[in-house]
């Protein structure tokens, strides 16, 4: 069917524009009201997507955020890596809180499993001398993707036949345990602990393991609305991010096509999520980082602690150079600006619009990255508004200083904002 067929369903992509934790969960939830399907295309339970409504707070890791809307089908695409224990735990917790899951989760038969040996290996590598310490979430993400590319991963479809599942798990455990014990002197993963988990997973989810690429393409052809939920952010992309301080998947738009089996011609709108300042968890370059009192203030006002690991997030000024790079990579149509209210208490606010490297002005992120330890941000300073904006629902009701800051961010990023978020709840949103 041609991509331009007028009566096919619309597809929106929600993508993180910085180093993750931009507030994707809130916006997916907000826009999810009209979606028939919500699909994840990459990452795993390294993600932590927070949704707040009423007095309820949910943090989704592996399950697409659409699960909080009762009639939405949730797709875990082939590009996602799934820790079976993590998915069992997360779904059990959601069910205990009254979320009806039933058969609403569909998992790609080609999605790879994160196994205990991946987590053990990651811990060895993170603590080994000579390897860059990435500061990962410790969820086994990197080793699981490495095995996928190395063509020795366990895939969902392997679970459909118990004999094949047992045989493959035993052989992979043996192979990985030799490396763990001999190369690192670490403990191996115990097959007798692993098999019961795989059997429990089979029992619960075997009926949910399907051809998700076919499912999504048919749904779109039948006029259904699809929301694609990115995890992490553009600057954590394994190719285009601040390598090696990145995650192990393509977080940017290209990951959608390979991670879901969906042509990019079927993505109608790309919605970038961007914070009014910048945060990052884990190690790696962050030239606009604030290590003093202002960074601390942002962390406390924005409650900047990892939704997955609880680690304090590093905080800094808005980086317009990084933002423009992210807009280019993802061909972003429109943006949701989040966490504007976090800046309420500041006397003045800075925006990085360019860098200087060895005395020369640099406007492109790739050139900054080549010299990140020498790059000096060039800042514009704007006055703060020094009053709470969380109750405001119309842009023109915001203080003049706030409006000016938002307009300047828009100019610097080069893409318009369709939403401005002034609080974590669904309702705390200004539609532009």
Residues in region 2-21 near ligand GDP by CB under 6 A: 16, 20-21
Q: Which residues are catalytic?
A: 21, 49
Query: Beta strand 73-76 with 37-40: parallel, antiparallel or unpaired?
Result: parallel
For residue 175, CA distances in Å to 32, 139, 195 come to 43, 20, 16
Choices 99-107, 131-139, 297-305, 326-334; region in contact with ligand IMO by CB under 6 A: 131-139
Among 91, 177, 338, 353, binds ligand GDP (CB under 6 A): 338
> Could you tell me the smallest distance in angstroms from the CB atom of residue 259 to ligand GDP?
17
In angstroms, what is the minimal distance from the CB of 23 to ligand GDP? Answer: 3
How far are the Cα atoms of 15, 17, 341 from residue 338, in angstroms, in the given order? 13, 11, 8
Shortest distance, position 129 Cβ to ligand GDP, whole Å:
31
Taking the CB of residue 210, how many other CB atoms lie within 10 A of it?
16
Site string for ligand GDP, 24-53 (x = CB under 6 A): xxx---------------------xxx-x-
Among 12, 21, 36, 229, binds Mg ion (CB under 5 A): 21
Options 57-65, 177-185, 294-302, 307-315: segment touching Mg ion (CB under 5 A): 307-315
User: Any contact of residue 48 with Mg ion (CB under 5 A)?
Assistant: yes
Query: CB under 6 A: which stretch of 17-25, 98-106, 172-180, 336-344 binds ligand IMO?
Result: 17-25
CB of 175 to Mg ion, least distance (A): 33
- The answer to the question of residue 424 lying near ligand GDP (CB under 6 A) is yes
Taking the complex as a whole, the smallest distance from the CB of residue 49 to Mg ion amounts, in Å, to 6
Q: Which residues bind ligand GDP (CB under 6 A)?
A: 16, 20-26, 48-50, 52, 302-303, 307, 338-339, 341-342, 421-424
User: Under the rule (CB under 6 A), what is the footprint of ligand IMO?
Assistant: 16, 19-21, 46-49, 134-137, 139, 141-142, 231-233, 236, 247-248, 281-282, 307
């Amino acid at each position: 069917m041609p991509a331009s067929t007028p009566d096919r369903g619309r597809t929106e992509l929600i993508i993180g524009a910085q180093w993750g934790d931009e507030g994707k969960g809130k916006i997916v939830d907000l826009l999810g009201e009209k979606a028939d399907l919500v699909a994840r295309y990459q990452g795993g339970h390294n993600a932590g997507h927070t949704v707040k409504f009423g007095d309820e707070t949910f943090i989704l890791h592996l399950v697409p955020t659409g699960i909080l809307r009762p009639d939405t089908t949730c797709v875990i695409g082939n590009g996602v890596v799934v820790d079976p224990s993590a998915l069992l735990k997360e779904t059990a917790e959601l069910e205990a809180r009254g979320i009806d899951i039933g058969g609403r989760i569909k998992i790609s038969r080609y999605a790879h499993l994160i196994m205990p040996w991946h987590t053990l290996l990651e811990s060895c590598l993170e603590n080994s001398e000579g390897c860059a310490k990435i500061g990962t979430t410790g969820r086994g993400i990197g080793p699981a993707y490495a095995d996928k590319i190395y063509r020795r991963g366990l895939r969902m479809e392997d679970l459909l036949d118990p004999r094949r599942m047992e045989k493959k798990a035993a052989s992979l455990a043996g192979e990985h345990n030799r490396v763990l014990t001999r190369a690192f002197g670490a403990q191996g993963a115990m097959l007798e602990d692993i098999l019961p988990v795989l059997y429990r997973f089979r029992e619960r989810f075997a009926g949910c393991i399907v051809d998700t690429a076919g499912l999504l393409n048919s749904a779109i052809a039948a006029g259904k609305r699809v929301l694609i939920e990115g995890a992490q952010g553009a600057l954590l992309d394994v190719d285009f991010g601040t390598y090696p301080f990145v995650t192990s998947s393509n977080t940017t738009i290209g990951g959608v096509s390979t991670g879901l089996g969906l042509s990019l011609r079927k993505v109608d709108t790309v919605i970038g999520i961007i914070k009014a300042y910048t945060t990052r968890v884990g190690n790696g370059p962050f030239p606009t980082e604030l290590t003093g009192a202002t960074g601390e203030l942002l962390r406390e006002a924005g409650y900047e602690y990892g939704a997955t690991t609880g680690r304090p997030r590093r905080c800094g000024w808005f980086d317009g150079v990084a933002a423009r790079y992210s807009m280019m990579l993802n061909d972003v149509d429109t943006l949701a600006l989040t966490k504007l209210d976090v800046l309420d208490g500041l006397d003045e606010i800075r925006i990085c619009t360019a860098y200087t490297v060895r005395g020369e002005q640099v406007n492109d992120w790739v050139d900054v990255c080549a010299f990140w330890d020498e790059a000096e941000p060039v800042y514009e300073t704007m006055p703060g508004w020094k009053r709470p904006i969380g109750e405001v629902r119309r842009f023109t009701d915001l203080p003049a200083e706030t409006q000016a800051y938002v307009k300047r961010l828009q100019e610097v990023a080069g893409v318009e904002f369709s939403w401005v978020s002034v609080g974590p709840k669904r309702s705390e949103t200004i539609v532009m």
